Amino acid sequence: MTYDSDNIFAKILRGEIPCHRVYEDEQTLVFMDIMPRADGHMLVIPKTPCRNLLDADAAQLAAVMMTAQKVANVAMGVFAADGVTVQQFNEAAGGQEVFHLHFHILPRRTGDALRPPGIMADPDMLAEQAARLRAAVTAA
């Protein structure tokens, strides 16, 4: 399988499509999922082309996982979460829909069910959550 440089996350990285940014460093970008399954649902992606876990190199994986850990810890505090679900899918048969490596970070509270997939969130709510997370990452 080859990397498609026209996927939506590649377009976000090039600034062609807006997103609600939470955190960014030289190697990774974190932004809000526009169809969140939980409050604070973020996506962590490498800035370099990578289809998924199956073709990622060690440096891409290390960078993404370090960032995932950082924002997961921050999200625990911001959303008073009891835990965090981390999801990652590979190829269509594995549930992957956007073919750029990404990890879902979902703050969770005991007893709360995930929202159904495919429901767009209110952009104002995403902007507010992203601002809260950004402030907490900066303070961490």
For the stretch 5-42, pLDDT in tens is 999 999 999 999 999 999 999 999 999 999 999 999 99
| CATH number of this structure's domain 8-110+118-139, picked from the four choices 3.40.1190.20, 3.90.550.10, 3.30.465.10, 3.30.428.10 | 3.30.428.10
Cα 34 to Cα 5: distance, rounded to the nearest angstrom: 21
pTM value is 0.97
* pLDDT one-digit tens code per residue, 42-80: 999 999 999 999 999 999 999 999 999 999 999 999 999
Task: Name residue 32's beta-bridge partners.
Answer: 42
Residue tagged 């750029």 (tokens): 100
Give the model's pLDDT for residue 140: 83
Active-site position among 20, 41, 100, 102: 102
102 flagged as catalytic: yes
Structure-derived torsion over alpha carbons of residues 16, 19, 24, 30, reported in degrees to the nearest 10? -120
Listed by start position, the domains of the chain span: 8-110+118-139
